[in-house]
Amino acid sequence: MDGKEYVQKVLSTVQKRNLGEEEFLDAVKEVLTSLVPVFDRRPDFIKAGLLERLTEPERAISFRVPWVDDNGEVQVNRGFRIQFNSAIGPYKGGLRFHPSVNQSIVKFLGFEQIFKNSLTGLPIGGAKGGSDFDPKGKSDNEVMRFCQAFMSELYKYIGSNRDVPAGDIGVGGREIGYLYGYYNKLKGVSEQGTLTGKGLTYGGSLARTEATGYGLVYFTEEMLKDHNLSFKDKKVVVSGSGNVAIYAIEKATELGAKVITCSDSNGYILDENGINLDVVKEIKEVRRGRIKEYLKSVPTAKYVPDFREIWNVKCDIALPCATQGEINEKSAKALVENGVIAVSEGANMPSTLDAINVFLSNKILFGPSKAANAGGVACSAIEMSQNSIRYSWTFEEVNNKIKNIMINIYNNSKNAAKEYGNEGNIVVGANIAGFLKVAEAMMAQGII
């Protein structure tokens, strides 16, 4: 059996076992098809059933989360934790609180996390979790009660040497604080390394807030530099207005770019003079408002009440930082027609497979999410290290570590792509580079 036959066999099995889980199936297909040349060289991987084991979570946990709202009414949400692979270290991956969360999305995110974590070079396995709870519009007390109810079940399955959750969409510093406090109460310990993204006063790391956005720009900067390009004087479109988008805008602007957009789930802002980041931070980090409020402070900007239309804005560089699947084939074609030279993913798989094919077939520089947005989990692992040694590094020290990790991820992905016959294809290179480390660890540890 050659590599292509093996991959097709596993894909067929995965599709039959996971009917209707489109997000997960797309993620598996994208990774596995790029690994064919690896299995052509390594038939021992086939014999060991690596893909059969890699595509099946080590543990999939789902549970109900009952809580009481401010009106005294009982609400019930679903909670999930998918512990996908622990071959290279304890499970590591964020928690997402959003109405769209279901098992397919959590499995897709957890599967991607295996390779992203491997690419950092740090000893962390892949996991993901979350709930269909929506923190938007909820009071602090409602969010606290939900987080405590959620942790009352999750605490049984996590720990600093077992599984270390962090934040994701809908889970910021407030939610992490509530989750961490209740975990310690339930366990009767102060186990700082069990959750990352904590506040600085109780074990958090400097640069964690900035890490994913900064890391995205560091990766993209290295990719541009490799082609004698830079951010300087480039027009950049960024989607989203959370931590990833805000700090990607900040760092890209520092490097000389003009960022002209940001968005939320309702629509997007176009400011041809360059996004005023102080206004965005006030709206999103202080008031937790909607991005259309930007016009109150900057009336010369334009608001479009359809966030998907953002990809029709002419730009040199696109940084999708909102959510999965936000760039479809049509949007990708619009970006190409408008002259985009580079696309780097700050969100988790924001480009569909069809969109990625459009970028690659048109020779657009493309940074896939598992490589380009690994700065956040890299900083989480750095936070774990600081918790282990009871010490804190400076912002500059952490930031430099993140930058070096992102540069290494780009170069390792580039080199893997070249070694396996796909020079210039960072999607294939990132998949192969991330897979090989996990594969060798799995081979060394036997059939478990």
pLDDT in tens, 406-445: 999 999 999 999 999 999 999 999 999 999 999 999 999 9
CA separation for the pair 269, 279 (Å, rounded): 12
Residue 66: helix, strand or coil by DSSP?
strand
Structure tokens at 347: 């969100």
Whose tokens are 């071959």? That residue is 87
Q: How many CB atoms lie within 10 A of CB 292?
A: 17
Contact residues for 242 (Cβ-Cβ < 8 A; gap 6+): 169, 284, 321, 322
Confirm whether residue 116 is marked as ligand binding: yes
Rounded Cα gap, residues 351 and 365, in angstroms: 14
User: What per-residue confidence (pLDDT) applies to 349?
Assistant: 87
pLDDT, tens only, 107-138: 999 999 999 999 999 999 999 999 999 998 99
Collect the ranges in the chain with pLDDT lower than 70.
Answer: none
Is 213 annotated for ligand binding?
A: no
Determine if residue 113 is labeled as part of a ligand binding site: yes
Q: Domains in the chain, ordered, with CATH?
A: 3-53 (no CATH), 59-190 (3.40.50.10860), 210-363 (3.40.50.720)
Q: Round to whole Å and give the CA distance between 289 and 264.
A: 10
State whether residue 261 is helix, strand or coil: strand
Annotated catalytic, 128? yes
Please give the pLDDT value at position 283.
Answer: 95
pLDDT at site 235 = 98
Q: Whole-model pTM?
A: 0.93
Residue 115 to residue 31: CA distance in whole angstroms: 9
Residue 380 assigned as binding residue: yes
Confidence (pLDDT) at 51: 97
| Gap between the Cα atoms of 24 and 21, Å rounded | 6
Query: Which residue out of 16, 29, 47, 128 is catalytically annotated?
Result: 128
The verdict on whether residue 92 carries a ligand-binding annotation is: yes
Closest CA to 360 of 30, 117, 74, 20: 30
Contact 165, 94 (CB under 8 A): yes
In the chain, count of helices (H) and strands (E)? 18, 13
Grouping H, G, I as helix, E, B as strand and the rest as coil, residue 327 is: strand
The per-residue pLDDT for 417 is 97
Q: Which helix (H) or strand (E) holds 237?
A: strand 235-238
- For residue 324, the model assigns a pLDDT of 85
